[in-house]
């Protein structure tokens, strides 16, 4: 089983996690920029964090044979802090970098006017830099948050096929499916979404535009739940090819739209997808 985790915060994980992920079949990851627990007080903290997402963390992942890419943004939670707003001015410099495959995480936390403004501004950057966008949906009032998210996406002019709306559940998946956006699911040990529930969603809504991630952030989380979801799919009667589509080819297709996904030299199994703009040979 080859696995591409399309949303995982490796900054909060250890080398033991990298080792276990590699053993479980994880060959590639995308790490979205997000909050760091302790609130940041100035844009310089973000610049150092962004640099580590495109420099240090790919190096750390590489030691375990895992290819690491990043998405860059001012996250919704910190978009509410006036001390952090100037981060928006830092973004263009990072959105030009090779290892950056999307703008994200953007979207809503508490659905404030400040979040509205940062969300719209960053969708405009995604259009300008021809990058996909990774959109976080709020954990409270999720249905209303998702509805408003889809309205803002539609208004922005970005193609729905270049947007993943993440952290979905049984209640929110249908609207995102119908809007033509990609559907992201964060599988957690206790909350949000479990492998068996994910399998039911795949049975009902199909495998197209589906992205399964472990998020693996500061809370109780498990970077091997992508693998557990693949096993649960097989146990439910899905084929190896179905699992490969959800856990590998879908994220390659979505982030491949950046033109910057580099999966070269990952071995023969990882370079067989046709039709994406993956770079081949060289780095
Ligand atoms: Zn996240």
pLDDT by residue for the chain (283 residues), tens only, comes to 999 999 999 999 999 999 999 999 999 999 999 999 899 999 999 999 999 999 999 999 999 999 999 999 999 999 999 999 999 999 999 999 999 999 999 999 999 999 999 999 999 999 999 999 999 999 888 999 999 999 999 999 999 999 999 999 999 999 999 999 999 999 998 777 899 999 999 999 999 999 999 999 888 899 999 999 999 999 999 999 999 999 999 999 999 999 999 998 885 444 333 333 334 333 3
Rg (CA), the chain: 17
| C-alpha of residue 220 to centroid of ligand 1, in Å | 13
Confidence (pLDDT) at 274? 37
| C-alpha of residue 212 to centroid of ligand 1, in Å | 12
| C-alpha of residue 27 to centroid of ligand 1, in Å | 19
Question: Residue 172 phi/psi, 5° resolution?
Answer: -100, -10
| C-alpha of residue 281 to centroid of ligand 1, in Å | 30
| C-alpha of residue 167 to centroid of ligand 1, in Å | 8
Q: Give the sheet arrangement for strand 163-166, strand by strand.
A: 3-5, 26-32, 67-72, 100-107, 133-136, 163-166, 182-186, 210-213
| C-alpha of residue 73 to centroid of ligand 1, in Å | 12
Q: How many CB atoms lie within 10 A of CB 208?
A: 12
């Amino acid at each position: 089983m080859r696995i591409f985790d399309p949303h995982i915060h490796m900054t909060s994980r250890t080398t033991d996690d990298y080792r276990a992920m590699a053993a479980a079949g994880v060959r590639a990851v995308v790490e979205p920029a997000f909050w760091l627990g302790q609130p940041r007080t100035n844009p310089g903290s973000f610049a150092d964090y962004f640099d580590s997402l495109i420099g240090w963390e790919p190096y750390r992942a590489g030691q375990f044979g895992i290819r690491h890419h990043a998405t860059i943004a001012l996250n919704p939670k910190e978009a509410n802090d006036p001390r952090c707003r100037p981060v928006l001015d830092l973004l263009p410099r990072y959105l030009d970098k090779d290892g950056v495959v999307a703008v994200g995480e953007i979207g809503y936390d508490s659905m404030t006017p400040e979040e509205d403004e940062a969300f719209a501004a960053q969708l405009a950057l995604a259009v300008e830099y021809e990058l996909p966008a990774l959109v976080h949906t709020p954990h409270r009032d999720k249905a209303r948050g998702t509805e408003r998210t889809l309205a803002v996406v539609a208004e922005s002019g970005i193609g729905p096929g270049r947007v993943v709306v993440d952290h979905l559940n049984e209640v929110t998946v249908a609207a995102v499916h119908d809007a033509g956006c990609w559907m992201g699911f964060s599988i957690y040990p206790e909350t949000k979404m479990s492998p068996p529930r994910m399998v039911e969603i795949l049975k009902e809504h199909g495998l197209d535009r589906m992205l399964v991630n472990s998020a693996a952030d500061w809370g109780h989380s498990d970077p091997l739940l992508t693998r557990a979801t693949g096993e649960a799919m097989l146990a439910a009667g899905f084929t190896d090819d179905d699992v490969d589509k959800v856990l590998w080819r879908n994220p390659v297709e979505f982030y491949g739209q950046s033109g910057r996904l580099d999966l070269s030299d990952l071995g023969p199994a990882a370079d067989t997808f046709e039709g994406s703009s993956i770079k081949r040979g060289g780095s």
